[in-house]
Chain A
Amino acid sequence: MIEALRLTKRYGERTAVDDLSFTVRPGVVTGFLGPNGAGKSTTMRLLLDLDEPTGGAARVNGRRYRDHRAPLREVGSLLEARAIHTGRSARNHLLALAATHGIPRRRVDEMLDLVGLAGVAGKRAGGFSLGMGQRLGIASALLGDPHTLLLDEPVNGLDPEGVLWIRNLLKSLAAEGRTVFVSSHLMSEMALTAEHLIVVGQGRLIADTTVEELTRRASPAAVTVRSEQDGRLRELLGRDGVTITSADNERLEVVGMTSAEIGRVAAAAGIALVELTPHQASLEEAFMQVTRESLEFVGATR
């Protein structure tokens, strides 16, 4: 469980996080979404007590991060900027972190195996690719077998296989009842991984919702219909609350009716349909729409 309570962080004149409140619950993957510069990384650092908030408070599993007896057992974290000394080997990096908590050496080796770095564990981390660095970051996040995971852009730099691996890993960790909080600026990635979403823009909360709900709210479902008697169908469907647009004469884009309703109308009139395709706005579109609204709102209040 992660709680942000009216969290605010200012750097001089610039407000990075603005009165942000949300709760992240265990059992599902929660996406932390927003364009670059929206304050996601700052929020993550505030949650980890690395930065001091200007106002408000951050709690993880009921307490400030630093007030936990064994912080790595509570929260495993991967920060966007690399947090690894380039001169140290992957194994020594993990051993040093493990030592602070008395985590056994065996666990370090298990984590290296898990993330696929066992073969290069003795090599200096400075020579690692972005993807390998991310894997090492994941290994350190999982070191303490934490109840809560806080990952900032974990798929950055990973190859498709690695992305898939992270996705499954996060889902299985959440399925175990852990709290999994993952930031991303890629809506499409979140659509595949997260169930719940916290969307921020310019440091403020834009939406705290489920992926499903966001999609529904963002734009109504449209249905594409094609028939051999396009003109007649257009007349039949044209009623209050229904908008029909068409790219060409043979295809109608209908908003305001379900595909079942359209099918029934066509059948009653004896019109043969060639195509009947319901569309859901893609999450990417939904996200763009929601963030655009918030940016306009902010712009208007200035």
Chain B
Amino acid sequence: MSAAVVERPSSVAGTDLAVTQRRIITSEWIKLRSLRSTWFSLGAAILLDIGLGILFSGLRGNDAATHQVPAADFDSIEVSLRGMFLAQLAVGVLGVLVITGEYATGMIRASLSAAPRRFPVLVGKVAVFGGVTFTLSTLMGLIAFLGGQAVLHTDGYGVSLSSPGAARAVVGVGLYLTVVGLLALGCGFAFRSTGGAIAAVFGLLLVLPLLAQALPNSVADHVNKYLPMVAGSQIIAPHQAPNVLGPWTGIGVSALYAVVALAVGLFVLMRRDA
């Protein structure tokens, strides 16, 4: 500690300093990995998903075997991947916190002082959080699938990754949770407060399907399939059920929710004072 800052040769002289999208992405990666909440949330998501996948596989496989359910009628893939519905809580909360944590602590002012153009900041967060979520949750889907199928094998229901719909479902876990994460990120940017954003995310994902049940059946059939969780989760279903969208259309529709949330978030980020 001294006032000798001026005598010291500046170590930034000669460096080409400029804000670029790539550098913002690097910065967002440092921010994401340097918070404990990131690893707690993602760790919880991974443990829940894999653990539940194996647990469900054991229980359901055992039950099906005692009732002598034919293998063709058993949804082996989906059973091992259903843990993602719980994992989405952790991913959704983290997606919100990635930005509302900055507003709550004032960090946003430091972030926007370093990178004053708002759009690249949002792009940086989408790229980093989306990328990390997709990579980890696809990997997690793969482990849950392999673990679940190993357990199901003992009852004769196990399938391999090359069976129809299996690879799509594994990648689908990654896609679905990324959509949930980005929807949460968009809501975080839009609401700026943790509570409001979390209410919005889980209202959309979990409460809307319950409300839709109050509608007359003829209407509900048309509405329900477009809700984000219903549409997005078809990607892990091996057979197309009636009154739902196809796997790829479904994930596309759920991705639209995330895009709209991010667009609203961007609007708020650009227009409102930090």
Contact = CB atoms under 8 A, between A and B. Distances in A.
A85 interface: yes
Nearest to B34: A92
Given A88-B35, A114-B5, A83 B110 contact: yes
A169 interface: yes
Given A86-B105, A97-B27, A102-B18, A50 B113 contact: yes
A81 B105 CA distance: 9
Nearest to A176: B6
A185 B18 CA distance: 35
Contacts of B111: 97
Contacts of B31: 85, 88, 92, 96
Given A50-B109, A83-B106, A87-B35, A114 B1 contact: yes
Contact of A165 (B3, B19, B116): B3
A71 B1 contact: no
B252 interface: no
Contact of B23 (A65, A95, A99): A99
A261 interface: no
How large, as a class, is the contact surface on chain B? 35 or more
A88 B19 contact: no
A138 to B, nearest CB: 10
B113 A173 contact: no
A253 interface: no
A106 B24 contact: no
B273 interface: yes
Nearest to A172: B6
B12 A104 contact: yes
A101 B28 CA distance: 12
A64 to B, nearest CB: 9
A104 B23 contact: no
A179 B190 CA distance: 36
B215 interface: no
- Residue among B27, B36, B114, B115 with the most chain A CB within 10 A? B114
A69 interface: yes
A141 to B, nearest CB: 9
Nearest to A175: B6
B5 A69 contact: no
Contacts of A217: none
Contacts of A2: none
Interface in B11-42: 11-13, 15-20, 23-24, 26-28, 30-31, 34-37
Interface residues of A, number: 54
B101 interface: yes
B256 interface: no
A28 B143 CA distance: 63
B211 interface: no
B102 interface: yes
Contacts of A175: 6
Contacts of A176: 6
B17 A70 contact: yes
B114 A72 contact: yes
Contacts of B6: 172-173, 175-176
Contacts of B239: none
A48 B35 contact: no
Interface string A10-39: 000000000000000000000000000000
B110 A84 contact: yes
B5 A116 contact: no
Contacts of A65: 116
Interface string A172-190: 1101100000000000000
- Residue among A73, A84, A85 with the most chain B CB within 10 A? A85
Contact of B18 (A70, A89, A93): A70
B8 A100 contact: no
Nearest to B28: A96
B207 interface: no
Contacts of A89: 34
Interface string B77-107: 0000000000000000000000001100111
16 contacts: A45-B274, A49-B116, A52-B271, A68-B116, A70-B17, A72-B114, A77-B113, A85-B35, A85-B102, A92-B30, A99-B26, A102-B17, A104-B15, A144-B12, A144-B17, A173-B6
Interface of A: 45, 48-52, 65-66, 68-73, 77, 79, 81-89, 92-93, 95-97, 99-104, 106-107, 110, 113-116, 140, 142, 144-145, 165, 168-169, 172-173, 175-176
Given A66-B117, A72-B114, 6 more contacts: A77-B113, A79-B109, A92-B34, A101-B19, A114-B1, A140-B110
- A-B pairs, 3 with minimum CB distance: A116-B1, A66-B116, A92-B34
